[in-house]
Structure 1
Amino acid sequence: MNIGLSDIQKELSRIEKENRVRILYAVESGSRAWGFASRDSDFDVRFIYIHPLNWYLAIDRQRDVIEEPISGQLDISGWELSKALRLFRKSNPPLLEWLGSPIVYADNHGLADRLRGLQRKHFSPISCLHHYLHMAQGNYREYLHGETVRIKKYFYVLRPILACAWIEKYRTMPPTEFALLYADAGLPSDLIIVIDELLRRKMAGDELDLEPRIAPLNDFLDERIAYFGKIGADMERGGVATGELDDLFITMLHEVWQLNSIR
């Protein structure tokens, strides 16, 4: 199945109509956004949406996600705006990665730019470093701990480790694209040779399944996981004031649904 931009945008329009919502922002996430997708990688489309005012006035809490059945290579899901803002308040890394995705399918009413502005002021380095460290630890433990390993999973440990390095160095959200993290990392030449070859094989569609562990890469990841496990106590916690997000939420309701008054 060959999926194009128009196919994805048609699906997003259908979701809006069937759920009576407006999609404010939609992007590619996962390996295609990271820049190391193979030819048969899924399209992982993620979006933020908003309901009409009456939905928010119900006394019972309602479902705040939309998850479409995976169809072929297409995996689409989204978060309701107030849910997304609560996660943004805590510098939720998956959400912040959406804001940094290089592949954007919809960008309406300036939500993403407004969130990026808040992110620059209120980013929490320690929260994101812990997220990426736990991701690296979990993937390493599950896929790379042994003499025979799931070879493609090196990227799912290496990328969060490089993200930790970025956070330590710059105290900002790491770029979504792997290439930018990789170029900034200053890795030794022997590792670069190994990683470049793995990248070439992955993007060419090679199986990259069970193979002998790559000792230099494992040694590097072992050392970095241990190192990032010891730091972070002196990092800023950040966090956006709830009032700013309340104001943004009300602004979006007003602009999307053209309300005269919301207060």
Structure 2
Amino acid sequence: MTPKILEKLKEIEERRGVEILLAVESGSRAWGFASPDSDYDIRFIYRHEKDWYLSPWDKDETIEFMTEDDLDGSGWDLRKTFHLLLKSNAALLSWFYSPIVYVKNERFYDLFKPLADECFSPVAVFYHYLSMSKKYLEACRGDEVKLK
């Protein structure tokens, strides 16, 4: 599936005029507990050309796609990524430390890693996962529980 994923990411770069700096697998497949019906959760960080950032107008900072062959993609622009990093966003941090990497700009990674380490807040991440666990606990109290 990796060649299809890389092909889709290249298509996104060309069609949207961006450079993907980091693309990883997120979720159950990344952490080794995918179910038979798991899709591929591709998450990525990208950047535009510098003129895009000089505009005074708000612009979309997210790219999303879903394909018929179970590729679920979601990416954040570099500006949005830094805003979320300052909040110790658990999803962003999990992307950065994913064991399955599709695209990795080494220079970006080397500059970003110390920032990710510095911005990590155990308290913020704790509350994120506490909230998720409460939602899952409620889901498990029903008559029917999904495998996922």
TM-score range, shorter chain: over 0.9
1:145 to 133, 141, 144: 141
1:23 to 17, 20, 23: 20
Whether contact under 8 Å (2:21, 2:44) holds in the other structure is yes
Percent identity, aligned pairs only, is 44
Question: Which amino acid letter does the alignment assign opposite residue 116 of structure 1?
Answer: K
1:133 to 130, 134, 145: 130
1:83 match: 80
Q: What stretches of structure 2 of length at least 5 have no aligned partner?
A: none
The two structures have a TM-score, normalised by structure 2, of: 0.92
Q: Distance in 1 between matches of 2:17 and 2:106?
A: 17
Q: What stretches of structure 1 of length at least 5 have no aligned partner?
A: 154-263
1:258 match: none
- Equivalent position SS for 1:101: coil
Q: Distance in 1 between matches of 2:7 and 2:146?
A: 36
- What is the CA-CA distance between 1:139 and the residue it aligns to? 1.6
* Greater helix proportion: 1
1:52 to 45, 49, 52: 49
Question: Which amino acid letter does the alignment assign opposite residue 77 of structure 2?
Answer: E
Structure 1 residues 65, 122: CA separation in 2 closer, same or farther (over 3 Å shift)? closer
Question: Which amino acid letter does the alignment assign opposite residue 144 of structure 1?
Answer: C
Of structures 1 and 2, the one with the larger relative CO (CA 8 A, separation 6+) is 2
1:71 to 40, 43, 68: 68
2:31 match: 34
What is the aligned residue count?
Answer: 148
2:7 to 3, 6, 10: 10
RMSD of aligned Cα (Å): 1.5
Q: Which protein has the larger Cα radius of gyration, Structure 1 or Structure 2?
A: 1
Q: Distance in 2 between matches of 1:18 and 1:112?
A: 24
- What is the CA-CA distance between 1:109 and the residue it aligns to? 4.1
- Equivalent position SS for 1:152: coil
